[in-house]
C-alpha cells in the first residue's frame, strides 16, 4: 500500500517511515493500552538515495505563486520529498508572512478531488490521447481567426514570451483576461486616465490611508506586503505625523474596515460620491483636481472634510487613496487622479511596466461568442462558467463554441462543459516564473513531480504553439538572455534565494490625463430604491477557487466568525426592516432563518446573518460558495453569482429580501461578541498613550500585591531557556494566517460543520473578535489571537488524574497526548478555554474525507492525536526540540535568539508575534515584555502566563472625536 503512494509522488520517494508515522500513530497510541508486541513494520530504504536527502530531515525550497496577480515568494518545507508546509520567503520583496491561501495551498496539492486525467466530452482519456490531440491542435486552429484564449492574472515573463509566440503563430488570435480575483475595474480606471501596460502596488508606509471600498489587508492586492507596511506604520514609536491613520468607506465590514481608525458604512453605490466629495474638498485645499459634481449631503459629510484636511496636512506623497475592485472604473480613475494630485505617484504608489497590453475583458469575448466568431475557445486556469455574472449566460454560449479546451486544477463547472479538460499541475509541481507588481521576478520551482499527468500553464501555452517543451526549459530559455555567461551558477542562486536579481520590471511615474474624467464621472440622477446587494470576495475561499480546502472552509470569517457557509449579512436595523430576528440577541446565536434574496427575477435562498457595522439597506453576499462541481467541501454555502450582472458585477440595487419560515443553523465559532467590560483586549488612543504610558495598569481588576501571594511554593524554572511569546494587538489585523499555519504545522484536524456547530473546533490558535453588538452601523472591532498561554502556575495541570499535562523546565505546559485518558477536567479548569478535545476520531474522519493525501501533508515531527485525547498549543515544541538538539550536538546547547520561530509567528504578515527566551535579557521577546503596553490577560488569576499581549493603540482624528 505504501508502494502506490511512493510511485505516485514521482522520482523522489516520499519518506516511508515518516509517512507510516503519520498514519501509524493512531495504531501506535493503542499500544499504551496493553504492552503487547508492537505491530510488524517494514523498513523500505531507498535503492538509490538522492544525495541531498537525509531520511526524516526537513528541507526548505524557495518558490513563488500568485493569486489574482498578487505574487508571493514562498519557502516550502519538504520532508522526504513530501511538501508539508508553506511559508513566505523573507527574501522576496512582496512577502511578509503569508496569506491563509498560501498556508492552505500545501493541502490542495494532495486534494483527492483534483483532476487526475484528461477528459474528452465527459470521457476520461489517456494522457497520450490528450497529447495527440494537442499535437494536432495547431492545424485545426489555422491562422487563429477563431481562436480565443482566456488567461487568468498570470504576471509571468515566460507566459508573456509564449504569448508573443502564440501571437506570431496565430496572428488573428485574441487574448482575454478573466480572473475571479482580478483587477479589471482598476485597469479600466487606469486606462481612463491614460495609464496602460502597467502594474502598480502600494509602497513604503503611507501615513494617511483612505480606503474607498478597498480591502488591501484582506482580499485585494498584495495583502501581505501591505499588511506589513500598515502594521509598521502603527508602531507606537513613530512620530505622530508619520503614524498612519486608516479611513475606510465601505458597505460591508471588511478586514481592512475592521482595522480602521475611522470607518463610514455607506452603500457601495455611494462610495464614488464620497470620493467625488473628497476631490471637491481637496480642490478647495489647493490641489489640481478636475471639478466634479457630488451630492450635497456627501459634500457636507464631516468625515470627508476631516479626511481631506488630514490628507492635506501630511507630507506630500506620504498618503494614499485606495479604491476597491468592487467600485466601477470611473471611481478608480478618480482614485488615480487624487493620488497623482497628492503626489503619491512613485512614492506610496509604485508603477512598473509589464504585461501584454491588448487583452480583452470577458464581456468582449462574450460579444464574440454571441456572433459565433469564436471557433476554438481555450480557458486557462479560471472558471468563468461558475464565476461569470449570470446575465452574460456564459455557460450556454460556452457550449455553443465548437471546440472548448479547459486547463484546470479541478474538473470544475467550466471543465465539465468543455470539449476537452486538461489537468493543470499544482504550483508545487510546476516550473515557472512570476513577476511581482513591484517588479521583481522569482522562479517557481516544483517540490514534487506531478502527482497526476498534467501540464503547467506555460507548458500548456507551449503546446498551443505546437512545441512540447518542458516547463524547466521554457523558464530557463526566458532568462538565459538576461545575463551573459555563468548562467547556471546564477540560476542556482535564483533558485536558492527565490528571487531573480536581474530583469526587474522598470518602475516609472505615469502622467494622468483628467479630461475624459468629468464626462465619465456622471452620477445616475435617481438614487436606487430598496435594498442594495453588495457582492464581496470571501475572506476564506475568495472567489471560490479555494472552496475545496477544508482548512479554509473551517477557518471562521474574521468578522462574522462564520465557518462552512456564507450568509446574507445585514445590519441590525436592516434586519428589523426585513422582519427577521437579530440572531445576535438570542441565546442560540447560531439559529437563524433562511431568506429569499431576489432581484431582476432571480432568487437565491440563504440564511440571514446580523452583523453590526454593515451599511443600512445593504445585503452583503460573499462569493465563492455553493459550488456544484468544486468538490465535496466546495459545495457548502450558497451560490449567489446568479444575482450578478456584468455591467455592475459587485453592486446591485433594487433587491428584495423576504423572510421564510425555514430555519438554518450557521456554524458561528464565536457566539458571544461582547467583552462584557472585562479587561481582555486593552486599548487606548495614541494621545492617551503618550500622556499615560502605563495605561494598561488602569485595567487591572485586582491590585498587584494582592494577586502576587501564592498559597503554595513558587514554581522554579531554572533551565537556561525560558520560552515566552508576546502578541502585539496593535499590529494584529485578524487575518487568520496564524490559525491555518498552526493547523498545517501541528496536524490539526478539521471537524466539519456538524461539530463546528456544536462548538468543537480544534484550532489551537483562534482569533477572538470582540465588538459591542449594541451599535448598528458603527462598530469598533478588536482582535485577539488566543492560544495556550503556558501559565507558570497552570490550573490545568493539577487537576489531571494521570498527569498527562505537566510543566517542563523551560516553562512550557507540556501535553503528553499518549498519556491523556480524556477526563476533560483540564479544559474545564482552563480560564482561556484554549484546550481542544478529540470528541470523535477527527483524524480518521479526515483520512476518510481526504484519502491518504492528508497523511502525506502531515508533519512527521508532531504526533497525530487519537480520539478521546486533549490537545493544545505547546509553542511548536517540536521546533524547540529540534533547535535544542542541534545546539547540543554542535555547540554549548544555547539556542541563539530568533532560531526558533513558532508557526504562527512565521505566518503572521503583520509581524505581531514575538517568541524567544526571557532568560536572555537581550532577546527580542524580553524587550517586548518590558514595553509599557505589555499585559497578561486575566492577570488577576495569578497564572503568570508566558504569553502576554501588547495593548492596541488607535489613532483617531481629533476632528472626528465622538461626543
Partner 1 sequence: MTHMFPRWTNHLPTAVAVGVPLLGVAVVLGVYYFFSPYYTDVGYEPTQPVPYSHALHAGEMGMDCRYCHNTVEYAAHAAVPPTSTCLNCHKYVKANSEKLSLVRQSGETGEPIPWVKIHQLPDYAYFNHSAHVGAGVGCVSCHGRVDQMEEVWLHEPLSMGWCLDCHRNPEPHLRPVSEVTNMAYDPVAAGYDPSEDPNRTREVNPPVHCAGCHR
Partner 2 sequence: MDMRVSRDPVDRRPLLVNPPTDYNGVTEAVAAPIEWKTPMGWWIFFLVSAVFAAMYAGSTAYLIWEGTGIWGLNVPVAWGWAIVNFVFWVGIGHAGTLISAVLFLFRQKWRTSINRFSEAMTIFAVVCALSFPTIHVGRIWLLYWVFPVPNQMGAWPQFRSPLLWDVFAVSIYGTVSVLFWYTGLVPDLATMRDRVKSKVAKFAYGIFALGWTGSTRHWRHYETAYMLLAGLATPLVLSVHSVVSFDFAVSQLPGWHTTIFPPYFVAGAIFSGFGMVLTLMLVSRVIFKLEHIVTMHHLDNMAKVVLLTGMIVGYAYGMEFFIAWYGGNEYEMFAFINRAFGPYWWAYWSMVSCNVLIPQVLWFKTIRHNVAALFVLSIFVNIGMWFERYVIVITLSRDFLPSSWDMFYPTVWDWAALLGSFGLFFTLFSLFVRFLPMVAMAEVKSVMPESDPHHEPDETEAAKQPATATAGGAS
Q: What is the binding site for partner 1 (CB under 8 A)? A: 13, 16-17, 20-21, 24-25, 28-29, 31-32, 34-38, 40-49, 54-57, 806-809, 812, 814-819, 861-864, 874, 877-878, 881, 885, 888-889, 891-893
Q: Which of partner 1, partner 2, none interacts with 831 (beta carbon under 5 to 8 A by kind)?
A: partner 2
Work out which of 770, 771, 915, 949 binds partner 2, going by CB under 8 A. Answer: 770
Name the nearest CA neighbour of 701 among 717, 716, 714, 682: 682
The neighbour count for residue 50, using CB atoms within 10 Å, is 12
Residue 836 CB, nearest approach to partner 2 (Å): 7
CA atoms within 13 A on the CB side of 825: 15
H or E element that contains 480: helix 471-480
Q: How far is the CB of 326 from partner 2 (least distance, A)?
A: 30
Question: Which of the listed partners (partner 1, partner 2, none) does 878 bind, with a CB threshold of 5 to 8 Å by partner kind?
Answer: partner 1
Smallest separation (angstroms) from partner 1 to the CB of 47: 4
* Contact window for partner 2 (CB under 8 A) among 272-280, 523-531, 823-831, 879-887: 823-831
By C-alpha distance, which of 266, 280, 321, 282 is closest to 521?
280
CB of 36 to partner 1, least distance (A): 6
- Considering only 667, 820, 918, 951, the residue that binds partner 2 (CB under 8 A) is 820
Say if residues 602 and 642 touch (Cβ distance below 8 Å): yes
739 or 805: CB nearest partner 1: 805
Angle between helix 471-480 and 457-464 (nearest 10): 80
Measured from the CB of residue 590, what is the shortest distance to partner 2 in angstroms? 9
State which of residues 161, 353, 824, 924 lies at the interface with partner 2 (CB under 8 A).
Answer: 824
Phi first, then psi, for residue 550 (nearest 5°) are -60, -30
Instruction: Answer yes or no: are the C-beta atoms of 210 and 321 closer than 8 Å.
Output: yes
Q: Out of 627, 769, 901, 929, which residue is the one contacting partner 2 (CB under 8 A)?
A: 769
φ, ψ for residue 553, nearest 5 deg: -60, -35
* Residue among 867 and 924 whose Cβ is closer to partner 2: 867
The footprint of partner 2 on residues 862-901 (CB under 8 A) is 866-870
CA distance 443 to 476: 10
771-800 binders of partner 2 (CB under 8 A): 784, 786, 795, 798-800
- Of 137-145, 388-396, 446-454, 829-837, which segment contacts partner 2 by CB under 8 A? 829-837
Q: Which of residues 662-701 bind partner 2 (CB under 8 A)?
A: 670-676, 678, 680, 701
Pattern 930-959, binding to partner 2, x per CB under 8 A? -------xx--x------------------
Min dist. Cβ of residue 819 to partner 2 (A) = 7
- Verify binding: residue 709, partner 2, rule CB under 8 A: no
Q: Which of 24, 285, 822, 956 binds partner 2 (CB under 8 A)?
A: 822
Alpha-carbon distance of 317 to 722, in angstroms, equals 45
How are beta strands 947-950 and 723-728 bridged, if at all?
parallel
> Among residues 452, 487, 491, 840, which is the contact residue for partner 2, using CB under 8 A?
840
* All residues at 6 or more sequence positions from 94 whose CB lies less than 8 Å from its CB, including other chains: 70, 71, 72, 73, 201, 222, 224, 225, 436, 437, 438, 440
DSSP element (H, E) containing 245: strand 245-250
Taking the C-alpha atoms of residue 557 and residue 756, their distance in angstroms, rounded to an integer, is 13
Q: Which is nearer to partner 2, 109 or 667 (CB)?
A: 667
**Nearest distance from C-beta of residue 804 to partner 1, angstroms:** 8
Distances (CA, A) of 424 to 50, 75, 115, 387, 459: 27, 22, 8, 19, 10
Provide the b/e sequence for 10-41 (b: ≥16 CB within 10 Å).
eebbbbbbbbbbbbebbebbeeeeeeeeeeee
* Smallest gap from residue 39 Cβ to partner 1 (A): 8
Specify whether the CB–CB gap between 498 and 173 falls below 8 A. Answer: no
Nearer to partner 2, 659 or 795 (CB): 795
Q: Is 357 in the site for partner 2 (CB under 8 A)?
A: no
Q: Which does 40 bind (CB under 5 to 8 A by kind): partner 2, partner 1, none?
A: partner 1
- The entry of partner 2, partner 1, none that residue 885 binds, CB within 5 to 8 Å by partner kind: partner 1
| Element spanning 952, H or E | strand 952-954
For residue 513, the number of C-alpha atoms closer than 13 Å in the C-beta half-sphere is 8
| Residues facing 659 on adjacent strands | 595
Which of partner 1, partner 2, none lies near 817, with the C-beta cut-off 5 to 8 A by kind? partner 1
Nearest alpha-carbon partner for 85 in 428, 406, 482, 477: 428
Verify binding: residue 839, partner 2, rule CB under 8 A.
Answer: yes
Q: Of these partners, partner 1, partner 2, none, which one is at the site of residue 742 (CB under 5 to 8 Å by kind)?
A: none
- Would you call 236 helix, strand, or coil by DSSP? coil
To the nearest 10 degrees (0 to 180), the angle between helices 457-464 and 157-169 is 10
Residue 888 partner contact from partner 1, partner 2, none using kind-dependent CB cut-offs of 5 to 8 Å:
partner 1
Q: Under a CB-based contact definition with an 8 Å cutoff, are residues 571 and 616 in contact?
A: yes
When CB distances are held under 5 to 8 angstroms depending on the partner's kind, the choice from partner 2, partner 1, none that residue 784 binds is partner 2
Q: Considering only residues 573 through 592, tell me which ones interact with partner 2, judged by CB under 8 A.
A: 587-588
611 contributes a contact to partner 2 by CB under 8 A: no
Amino acid at each position: 500500500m505504501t508502494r502506490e503512494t511512493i510511485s505516485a509522488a514521482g522520482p523522489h520517494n516520499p519518506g516511508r517511515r515518516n509517512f507510516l508515522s503519520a498514519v501509524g500513530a493512531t495504531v501506535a497510541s493503542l499500544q499504551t493500552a496493553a504492552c503487547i508486541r508492537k505491530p510488524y513494520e517494514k523498513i523500505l530504504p531507498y535503492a538509490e538515495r538522492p544525495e541531498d536527502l537525509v531520511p526524516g530531515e526537513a528541507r526548505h525550497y524557495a518558490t513563488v505563486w500568485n493569486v489574482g496577480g498578487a505574487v508571493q515568494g514562498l519557502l516550502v518545507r519538504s520532508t522526504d520529498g513530501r511538501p508539508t508546509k508553506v511559508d513566505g520567503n523573507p527574501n522576496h520583496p512582496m512577502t511578509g508572512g503569508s496569506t491563509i491561501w498560501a498556508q492552505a495551498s500545501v493541502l490542495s496539492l494532495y486534494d483527492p478531488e483534483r483532476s487526475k486525467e484528461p477528459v474528452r466530452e465527459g470521457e476520461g482519456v489517456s494522457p497520450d490521447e490528450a497529447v495527440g490531440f494537442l499535437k494536432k491542435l495547431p492545424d485545426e486552429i489555422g491562422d487563429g481567426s477563431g481562436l480565443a484564449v482566456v488567461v487568468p492574472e498570470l504576471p509571468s515573463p515566460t507566459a508573456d514570451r509564449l504569448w508573443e509566440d502564440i501571437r506570431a503563430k496565430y496572428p488573428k488570435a485574441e487574448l482575454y483576461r478573466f480572473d475571479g480575483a482580478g483587477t479589471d475595474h482598476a485597469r479600466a480606471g487606469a486606462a481612463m486616465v491614460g495609464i496602460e501596460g502597467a502594474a502598480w502596488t502600494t509602497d513604503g508606509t503611507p501615513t494617511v490611508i483612505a480606503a474607498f471600498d478597498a480591502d488591501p489587508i484582506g482580499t485585494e492586492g498584495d495583502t501581505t506586503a501591505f499588511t506589513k507596511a500598515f502594521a509598521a506604520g502603527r508602531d507606537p514609536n513613530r512620530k505622530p505625523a508619520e503614524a498612519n491613520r486608516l479611513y475606510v468607506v465601505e458597505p460591508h465590514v471588511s478586514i481592512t474596515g475592521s482595522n480602521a481608525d475611522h470607518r463610514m458604512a455607506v452603500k457601495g453605490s455611494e462610495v464614488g460620491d464620497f470620493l467625488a466629495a473628497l476631490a471637491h474638498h481637496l480642490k478647495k485645499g489647493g490641489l489640481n483636481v478636475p471639478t466634479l459634481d457630488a451630492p450635497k449631503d456627501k459634500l457636507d459629510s464631516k468625515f470627508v472634510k476631516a479626511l481631506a484636511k488630514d490628507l492635506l496636512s501630511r507630507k506630500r506623497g506620504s498618503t494614499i487613496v485606495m479604491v476597491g475592485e468592487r467600485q466601477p472604473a470611473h471611481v478608480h480613475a478618480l482614485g488615480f487622479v487624487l493620488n497623482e494630485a497628492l503626489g503619491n505617484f512613485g512614492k506610496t504608489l509604485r508603477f512598473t511596466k509589464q504585461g501584454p497590453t491588448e487583452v480583452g475583458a470577458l464581456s468582449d469575448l462574450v460579444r464574440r461568442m454571441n456572433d459565433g466568431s469564436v471557433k476554438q475557445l481555450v480557458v486557462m486556469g479560471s472558471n468563468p462558467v461558475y464565476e461569470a455574472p449570470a446575465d452574460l449566460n456564459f455557460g450556454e454560449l460556452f457550449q455553443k463554441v465548437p471546440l472548448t479546451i479547459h486547463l484546470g486544477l479541478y474538473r470544475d463547472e467550466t471543465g465539465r462543459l468543455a470539449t476537452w479538460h486538461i489537468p493543470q499541475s499544482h504550483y508545487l509541481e510546476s516550473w515557472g516564473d512570476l513577476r511581482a507588481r513591484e517588479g521583481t521576478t522569482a522562479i517557481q520551482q516544483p517540490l514534487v513531480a506531478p502527482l497526476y499527468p498534467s501540464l503547467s500553464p506555460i507548458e500548456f501555452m507551449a503546446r498551443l504553439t505546437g512545441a512540447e517543451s518542458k516547463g524547466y526549459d521554457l523558464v530557463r530559455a526566458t532568462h538565459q538572455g538576461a545575463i551573459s555567461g555563468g548562467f547556471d551558477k546564477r540560476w542556482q542562486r535564483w533558485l536558492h534565494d527565490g528571487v531573480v536579481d536581474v530583469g526587474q520590471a522598470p518602475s516609472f511615474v505615469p502622467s494622468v490625463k483628467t479630461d475624459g474624467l468629468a464626462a465619465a464621472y456622471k452620477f445616475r440622477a435617481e438614487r436606487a430604491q430598496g435594498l442594495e446587494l453588495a457582492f464581496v470576495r470571501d475572506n476564506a475561499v475568495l472567489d471560490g477557487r479555494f472552496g475545496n480546502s477544508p482548512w479554509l472552509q473551517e477557518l471562521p470569517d474574521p468578522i462574522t466568525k462564520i465557518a462552512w457557509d456564507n450568509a446574507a449579512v445585514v445590519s441590525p436595523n436592516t434586519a428589523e426592516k426585513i422582519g427577521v430576528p437579530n440572531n445576535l440577541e438570542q441565546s442560540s446565536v447560531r439559529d437563524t432563518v433562511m431568506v429569499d434574496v431576489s432581484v431582476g427575477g432571480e432568487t437565491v435562498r440563504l440564511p440571514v446573518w446580523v452583523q453590526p457595522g454593515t451599511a443600512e439597506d445593504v445585503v452583503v453576499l460573499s462569493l465563492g460558495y455553493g459550488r456544484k462541481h468544486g468538490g465535496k467541501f466546495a459545495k457548502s454555502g450558497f451560490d449567489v453569482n446568479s444575482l450578478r450582472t456584468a455591467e455592475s458585477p459587485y453592486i446591485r440595487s433594487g433587491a428584495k429580501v423576504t423572510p421564510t419560515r425555514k430555519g438554518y443553523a450557521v456554524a458561528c465559532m464565536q457566539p458571544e461578541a461582547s467583552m462584557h467590560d472585562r479587561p481582555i483586549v486593552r486599548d487606548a488612543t495614541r494621545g492617551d498613550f503618550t500622556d499615560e504610558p502605563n495605561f494598561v495598569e488602569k485595567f487591572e481588576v485586582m491590585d498587584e500585591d494582592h494577586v502576587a501571594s501564592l498559597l503554595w511554593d513558587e514554581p522554579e524554572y531554572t533551565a537556561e531557556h525560558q520560552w515566552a511569546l508576546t502578541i502585539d494587538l496593535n499590529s494584529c489585523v485578524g487575518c487568520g494566517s496564524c490559525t491555518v499555519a498552526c493547523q498545517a504545522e501541528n496536524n490539526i484536524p478539521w471537524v466539519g460543520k456538524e461539530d463546528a456547530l456544536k462548538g468543537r473546533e480544534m484550532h489551537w490558535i483562534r482569533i477572538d473578535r470582540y465588538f459591542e453588538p449594541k451599535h448598528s452601523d458603527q462598530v469598533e472591532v478588536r482582535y485577539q489571537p488566543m492560544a495556550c498561554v503556558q501559565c507558570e502556575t497552570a490550573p490545568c495541570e493539577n487537576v489531571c488524574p494521570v498527569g498527562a499535562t505537566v510543566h517542563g523546565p523551560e516553562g512550557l505546559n507540556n501535553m503528553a497526548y499518549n498519556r491523556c485518558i480524556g477526563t476533560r477536567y483540564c479544559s474545564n479548569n482552563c480560564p482561556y478555554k484554549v484546550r481542544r478535545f478529540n470528541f470523535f476520531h477527527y483524524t480518521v474522519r479526515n483520512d476518510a474525507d481526504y484519502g491518504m493525501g492528508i497523511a502525506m501533508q502531515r508533519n512527521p515531527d508532531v504526533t497525530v492525536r487519537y480520539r478521546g485525547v486533549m490537545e493544545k498549543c505547546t509553542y511548536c515544541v517540536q521546533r524547540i526540540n529540534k533547535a535544542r538538539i542541534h545546539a547540543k550536538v554542535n555547540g554549548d546547547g544555547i539556542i541563539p535568539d530568533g532560531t526558533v520561530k513558532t508557526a504562527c509567528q512565521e505566518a503572521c504578515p503583520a509581524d505581531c508575534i514575538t517568541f524567544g527566551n526571557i532568560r536572555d535579557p537581550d532577546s527580542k521577546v524580553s524587550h517586548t515584555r518590558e514595553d509599557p503596553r505589555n499585559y497578561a490577560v486575566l492577570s488577576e488569576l495569578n497564572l503568570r502566563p508566558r504569553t502576554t499581549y501588547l495593548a492596541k493603540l488607535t489613532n483617531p482624528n481629533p476632528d472626528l472625536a465622538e461626543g
